Amino acid sequence: MKFLLDENFPRSAVDTLGALGHEVHDFRDEGRIGAPDDDVMRMASDLEAVLLTTDKDFFHTVQLLFPQHHGVIVVALSQPDRESIMSRLRWALAQVSEDIHSKCYLVTDRRLYVRSA
């Protein structure tokens, strides 16, 4: 799979996902820190990548604003740190199917929610 890291997602995901054979892009490498969510989603779409973020707004709005996308995974934890975010991401990836297109996942401390277009 291809992934795009939002600017708030731990950079360690590049190595972790790369070691699992995934292609990973980091929005921060584009020099556009603070860009609107629309720009982030456009870049994910252009790359045909699943967006990884910790911004819960994406879970609530992406289906309305971008009904066709390559997938979004939002990791929203009560006490997020790099280690816990990466741990929950690994868990979530084991739960989701390869057909993530147009689905938005919300990963919390205890559950995985999904919205489809």
Residue 79's pLDDT is 94
Q: What is the pTM of this model?
A: 0.91
- Return the H-helix or E-strand segment holding 23: strand 23-26
Q: Over the stretch 64-73, which tens digit does the pLDDT of each residue have?
A: 778 788 999 9
Residue 98's pLDDT is 72
Residue 108's pLDDT is 96
Q: Over the stretch 71-113, which tens digit does the pLDDT of each residue have?
A: 999 999 999 999 999 999 999 999 987 788 889 999 999 999 9
Q: Over the stretch 26-54, which tens digit does the pLDDT of each residue have?
A: 998 877 777 888 888 899 999 999 999 99
All structural domains of the chain with their residue ranges = 2-116
Angle at 108 between CA 71 and CA 100, to 5 degrees: 15
Give the three-state DSSP class for 8.
coil
Residue 85's pLDDT is 95
